[in-house]
């Protein structure tokens, strides 16, 4: 199982133009330059050579420069603990560890033996490679072998002498046996990669190391990871890193977090984050900031208690809890539980039996098909139940409530509410529990209730009897039992359809309580 921490900016940083093929081509050029300088050092007398105290330096006719720190020296040999070799074209080779250098009385180097390194790095103005571990370096072939604890690859596209220029880097960590032409860009890696880090180094006079993210607790096959990296740069490796049950924690900045497949835990932290759960049953937390969260396939738990957020979870049964911000929520065909919290919220749930709750403010809630339960808090809410037998409730405020298809149970709460009918099918009888004739209204979708298309007048409404008596009696309210009917021909020639049972404070109910839907959009 992979465990991640502090993962961020994968899109901005890791996709910053790193191309492995271009990187290795540059590195091969640097290796050739360094190789020429090594030949110069071994086969030509230095133009200048000095041993001040424990340091040594030399320059050669072609511009090659060598600087070294010595732990011991004599007239014929010295033990070097670190060195820096600079080629004329700007390529360089550096190392720390131990090596014995032999030279003659004139200063010409005659042999280099016992090269054991803790680190070896090489590069030019565009690319760099740093190897860390317990390494052996063959001065004849240039091959590096041994145990590698970290391999860092860096690259940049700007003038390296510009103050503030950023070098991007990727570091692979682990217990890896290394061989092959490492500095030439074709290493052979075997073992396990247990960690990855990436970020930038800023050249600002004193180098500033800025990690963008780390991945730890991995057990990746080094050979296959190297092959993935060779194919597509870090993007090719990242898909392998993130498969599995991952834990990802963002930073205080604006993060891009993609968990891919698996049952993942993601915490975006502060900042305006983009979070993708991928396939699997995920736990996703947005944190402070205006976040975008996509749960992906699976039964996900999503929470984001701060900021104005957008949450999408269209596959599986989602549990979504949001805070005081103005949020948008979009879910699919699962049985979802959504707590929108306070704020001006927009909630759209798809098919499935959903449970939706919102807090204090004016919300727009579209429950979709399924037998849904909606509880909207105080505020002027717009609620649509959609198809299914829904339970819809709103708090204090001037609410607009569409029951939709199905036999719905509706409570409008305190305030001047509008109960909208957009279904005339037999069996779609709604129950309105708390109609207040002093302030509430019935509204009708005239595309469904076609007889009302010309508007509703007092002549179209009959209150107090059970059937139509005239040709324009389209709406009949029977006060015995609170039954509301729609009669399409207005003359009782065809059977009237009961569309609701109404309870509440009905005294004074008359034609003024009946409006067409055009009033809602006037």
Mean pLDDT of 35-52: 78
pLDDT at 204 over 60: no
Structural contact between residues 342 and 308, judged by C-beta atoms closer than 8 angstroms: no
Q: How far apart are CA 405 and CA 424, in angstroms?
A: 8
Q: How confident is the model at residue 262 (pLDDT cuts 50, 70, 90)?
A: confident
Please state the pTM of the whole predicted model: 0.66
Beta strands 48-50 and 55-59, pairing class = antiparallel
Mean pLDDT of 392-396: 97
Structural contact between residues 433 and 500, judged by C-beta atoms closer than 8 angstroms: no
Break the chain into its structural domains and give their ranges.
3-224
pLDDT 10s digits, 420-429: 999 988 778 9
Q: What is the dihedral of CA 492, 494, 495, 497, to 10 degrees?
A: -90
With H, G, I as helix, E, B as strand and everything else as coil, classify residue 184.
coil
- Write down the pLDDT at residue 333: 93
Mean pLDDT of 485-506: 87
* Residue bearing tokens 């759960």: 277
Q: How far apart are CA 437 and CA 441, in angstroms?
A: 8
- Write down the pLDDT at residue 11: 32
- Write down the pLDDT at residue 385: 96
pLDDT at 453 over 50: yes
- Write down the pLDDT at residue 220: 58
- Write down the pLDDT at residue 215: 60
Structural contact between residues 400 and 379, judged by C-beta atoms closer than 8 angstroms: no
- Write down the pLDDT at residue 328: 97
- Write down the pLDDT at residue 211: 56
Task: Return the DSSP state at 238.
Answer: H
Q: How far apart are CA 12 and CA 212, in angstroms?
A: 10
- Write down the pLDDT at residue 74: 79
Backbone angles phi, psi at 39, to 5 degrees: -60, -40
Structural contact between residues 37 and 87, judged by C-beta atoms closer than 8 angstroms: yes
Nearest to 308 by CA among 286, 322, 326, 288: 326
Q: Which of 50-54, 121-125, 278-282 has the lowest mean pLDDT?
A: 50-54
CB atoms within 10 A of CB 10: 22
Q: What is the DSSP string of 447-490?
A: TTSGGGTT---GGGEEESSSS--STT--EEEETTTTEEEE-TTS
**Better pLDDT: 133 or 306:** 306
- Write down the pLDDT at residue 376: 97
Nearest to 257 by CA among 247, 265, 248: 248
pLDDT at 306 over 80: yes
* Residue bearing tokens 């719905």: 408
pLDDT at 235 over 50: no
Sign of the Cα pseudo-torsion (224, 227, 231, 233, in order): positive
Q: How far apart are CA 191 and CA 126, in angstroms?
A: 29
- Write down the pLDDT at residue 3: 36
- Write down the pLDDT at residue 21: 63
pLDDT at 7 over 90: no
Q: How confident is the model at residue 28 (pLDDT cuts 50, 70, 90)?
A: confident
- Write down the pLDDT at residue 372: 97
**Better pLDDT: 392 or 128:** 392
Backbone angles phi, psi at 519, to 5 degrees: -65, -30
Name the average pLDDT for the chain. Answer: 81
**Better pLDDT: 248 or 165:** 248
- Write down the pLDDT at residue 188: 66
Q: Which of 58-62, 379-383, 458-462, 467-471 has the lowest mean pLDDT?
A: 467-471
pLDDT at 103 over 80: no
Task: Return the DSSP state at 183.
Answer: T
- Write down the pLDDT at residue 55: 83
pLDDT at 13 over 80: no
Continuous H helices in 379-466: none
Q: Which of 7-11, 22-26, 284-288, 321-325 has the lowest mean pLDDT?
A: 7-11
- Write down the pLDDT at residue 234: 47
Structural contact between residues 319 and 337, judged by C-beta atoms closer than 8 angstroms: yes
Q: How confident is the model at residue 401 (pLDDT cuts 50, 70, 90)?
A: very high
With H, G, I as helix, E, B as strand and everything else as coil, classify residue 511.
helix
- Write down the pLDDT at residue 12: 27
Q: Which of 87-91, 194-198, 394-398 has the lowest mean pLDDT?
A: 194-198
Q: Counting runs of H as helices and runs of E as strands, what totals does the chain give?
A: 3, 39
- Write down the pLDDT at residue 232: 43
Mean pLDDT of 502-510: 96
Q: Residue 114 to residues 38, 55, 84, 105, 345: CA-CA distances in angstroms? A: 17, 19, 18, 21, 70
pLDDT at 213 over 80: no
Q: How far apart are CA 250 and CA 287, in angstroms?
A: 9
Note the maximum CA span of the chain.
Answer: 128
Mean pLDDT of 146-170: 68
Q: Which of 148-157, 373-382, 410-419 has the lowest mean pLDDT?
A: 148-157
> Residue 400's Cα: distance from chain center in Å?
35
Mean pLDDT of 262-279: 86
- Write down the pLDDT at residue 224: 58
pLDDT at 159 over 90: no
Mean pLDDT of 381-408: 96
**Better pLDDT: 218 or 417:** 417
- Write down the pLDDT at residue 139: 63
Mean pLDDT of 264-271: 86
Structural contact between residues 196 and 173, judged by C-beta atoms closer than 8 angstroms: yes
């Amino acid at each position: 199982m992979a465990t991640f921490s502090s993962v961020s900016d994968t899109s901005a940083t890791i996709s910053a133009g790193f191309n492995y093929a271009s990187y290795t081509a540059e590195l091969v050029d640097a290796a050739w330059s360094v190789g020429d300088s090594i030949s110069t050092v071994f086969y030509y007398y230095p133009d200048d050579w000095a041993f001040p105290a424990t340091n040594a330096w030399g320059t050669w006719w072609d511009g090659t420069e060598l600087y070294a720190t010595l732990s011991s020296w004599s007239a014929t040999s010295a033990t070097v603990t670190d060195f820096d070799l600079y080629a004329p074209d700007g390529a360089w080779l550096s190392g720390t560890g131990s090596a014995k250098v032999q030279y003659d009385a004139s200063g010409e180097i005659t042999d280099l033996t016992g090269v054991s390194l803790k680190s070896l790095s090489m590069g030019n103005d565009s690319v760099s490679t740093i190897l860390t571990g317990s390494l052996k370096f063959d001065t004849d072939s240039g091959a590096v072998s041994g145990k590698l604890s970290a391999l860092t690859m860096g690259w940049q596209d700007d003038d390296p002498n510009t103050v503030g220029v950023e070098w991007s880097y990727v570091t692979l960590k682990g217990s890896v046996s290394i061989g092959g032409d490492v500095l030439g860009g074709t290493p052979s890696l075997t073992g396990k990669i247990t960690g990855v880090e990436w970020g930038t180094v800023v050249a600002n006079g004193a180098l500033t190391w800025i990690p963008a993210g780390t991945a730890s607790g991995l057990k990746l096959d080094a050979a296959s990871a190297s092959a993935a990296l060779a194919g597509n740069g870090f993007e090719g490796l990242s898909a392998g890193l993130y498969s599995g049950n991952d834990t990802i924690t963002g930073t205080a900045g604006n993060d891009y977090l993609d968990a891919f497949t698996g049952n993942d835990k993601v915490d975006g932290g502060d900042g305006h984050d983009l979070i993708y759960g991928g396939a699997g049953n995920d736990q996703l937390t947005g944190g402070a900031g205006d976040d975008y969260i996509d749960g992906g396939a699976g039964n996900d738990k999503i929470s984001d208690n701060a900021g104005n957020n957008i949450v999408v979870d269209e596959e599986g049964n989602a549990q979504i809890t949001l805070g005081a911000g103005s949020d948008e929520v979009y879910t699919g065909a699962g049985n979802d539980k959504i707590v929108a919290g306070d704020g001006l919220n927009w909630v759209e749930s798809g098919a499935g039996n959903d449970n939706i709750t919102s807090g204090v403010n004016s919300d727009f809630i579209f429950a979709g098909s399924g037998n849904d339960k909606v509880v909207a808090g105080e505020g002027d809410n717009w609620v649509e139940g959609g198809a299914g037998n829904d339970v819809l409730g709103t708090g204090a405020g001037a609410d607009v409530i569409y029951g939709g298809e199905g036999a719905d149970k509706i409570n409008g709460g305190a305030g001047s509410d509008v109960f909208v009918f957009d279904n005339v099918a037999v069996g779609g009888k709604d129950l309105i529990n708390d109609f207040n004739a002093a302030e509430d209204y019935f509204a009708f979708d005239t595309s469904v209730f076609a007889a009302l298309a010309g508007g509703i007048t007092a002549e179209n409404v009959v209150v107090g009897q059970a059937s139509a008596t005239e040709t324009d009696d389209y709406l009949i309210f029977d006060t015995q039992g609170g039954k509301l009917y729609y009669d399409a021909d207005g003359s009782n020639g065809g059977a009237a359809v009961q569309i609701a049972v109404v309870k509440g404070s009905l005294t004074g109910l008359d034609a003024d309580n009946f409006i067409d839907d055009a009033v809602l959009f006037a």
